[in-house]
Amino acid sequence: MRLAILFIAALSLSRAEGSYCTGGPKKDAKPNMYPITEPTLVHVADYYSKNDDVGGGRLFNAIHHLGNSTFPVLHLYGTGYDMGFAQGMLLKDRLLKMWDMFFDYVVKNTPGGMPTVEKLLDPIAKSSKKFIPTHFTDELKGLSDATGYNYTKLLWIHLFPESAVGHCSMFGAWGKATSKSYAGKLLQMRALDYITADFLSDNHALIVYHPNDGEAFINIGFIGTITLVTGMSSAKISLSQIGVSNPDSSFGPQRNGKGFPFNFLLRDILQYQTSLNDVETALENATRTIDLILGFGSASSHVADNKKGVKTPFIGVQYAANQIRVYDDTNMLPVNDTWHPRIENVVYHGT
């Protein structure tokens, strides 16, 4: 089974176990009917370290003719510092503008302004420090050195999601569900319903990492952000992640900032895990912090065994500080036949 993934950045549960849904699209919402196509790639620039013949980066623009849009595709190589420095050199002006607008947005939309932001994010930075691997901080230092941007503010930007909630959607469909439309292959979607300000909507990007260790992987997100919530690895493991806005009691208490920040952890999952069973083990062993719902897809050679011994190419995960619960289409959570019925060969969620 070939793995096909459709990721959409959106601009814009009787007895239940899991997260309650609270909304849906407007009745007149325009569906995305664009076919899955390949954009035209145009080379823009390269950067390689003078002291390292491995580390560096290559920048392209992807032109999507049907969608009338252009976005950067950035390939990064080497150590964490190498990759951060290369991105900083290739996109310096855009990064500085994006980070300033991001930070200004956070301050403006936080009651109490900068003192409250510092009071919120500085403790998270201190308590999560021992959980964040050095390749992340090295990459942030590379970005900071190349652009001159303040390292602490850059770290705070990456820790902000630990204190915020996104409203997103995702699904994995395969087998019978895609037999007539996609020859039974896995089709995976993640819609990002998050901040729609220009500093994000104008800066979406595909960042392709080629690290010295682990798997190569694609970060489907934004320039200047090294953590990950949507992506795919060369081991053909793919990730969809959504926030939980109305968790029920099965999630338990959260511990924001007192563990491995989720967006850092999810990137490490794609870089170092090569099967869905490995993904489950890594999630179980991590010091988790907040409530999420995750979806992981895989090629047929890396599928997981469910409790019935049936191979499945896609799993959902109820992710919480105190536990994780893994499921497929046969035991999907939450359980509610009215607004979250189980569908053969489909796992889906929206918050």
Structurally, the chain folds into a number of domains equal to 1
Range of the domain at 289: 3-350
**Low-confidence residues in the chain, pLDDT < 70:** 1-25, 51-53, 165-166, 300-310
- Taking each continuous run of H as one helix and of E as one strand, the counts in the chain are 8, 16
Query: What does 196-260 look like in DSSP terms, one character per residue?
Result: -SHHHHT-EEEEEEEESSS--EEEEEETT--S-SSEEETT-EEEEEEE-SSB-TTS----TTSSS
pLDDT digits (tens, 9 = 90+) for 101-155: 999 999 999 999 999 999 999 999 999 999 999 999 999 999 999 999 999 999 9
pLDDT digits (tens, 9 = 90+) for 224-242: 999 999 999 999 999 999 9
Helix or strand run (H / E) with residue 263: helix 262-272
